[in-house]
Amino acid sequence: MAFNLPRIRNKSELQNNSNKRSYIDDVFNNFFNEIASFSYPSSYNDRMLSPRTDIMENDSEYNLEMELPGVTQDNIDLKIDSNILTIEGKKEQSSEKKDHNYHMQERYYGSFYRSISLPS
């Protein structure tokens, strides 16, 4: 009767595998840190914000809800042309925060627009 026993490994092989695992962990951690710190050029950011939108209908009207945190009503412009609703606006950064040296900034400030085809 034959048994398949695991191969006995010496200490240097085990240490080598531990180093490989540590190296792979470092590669993954560095990769995700680099992605998190990646930033687009500002001209791309200006087009990037497209607010999340829900459109609902009842018996008498359509309702539109948009996620626009930090945007004041004065900074929103609505237009309808040829059954296309266009929402434009901007989110401004408060002047008191402009003087800080940011290490990371995920919140978006700038212009946005969204065009939606309306039902006929």
Domain segments of the chain as ranges: 11-40, 47-117
HSE value, Cβ hemisphere, 13 Å, CA-based, for 95:
0
Distance CA 99, CA 36 (A): 23
Q: Which pTM does this prediction carry?
A: 0.50
Q: Looking at residue 47, what is its pLDDT? A: 43
pLDDT per residue over 89-99, tens digit each?
988 776 656 66
Q: Which residues, listed in sequence order, are joined to residue 31 by a DSSP beta bridge? A: none
Residues 117 and 83 sit within 8 Å (Cβ to Cβ): yes
pLDDT per residue over 43-71, tens digit each?
444 444 678 889 898 999 889 999 888 88
Q: What is the CATH number of domain 47-117?
A: 2.60.40.790
Tokens standing for residue 33: 């840190």
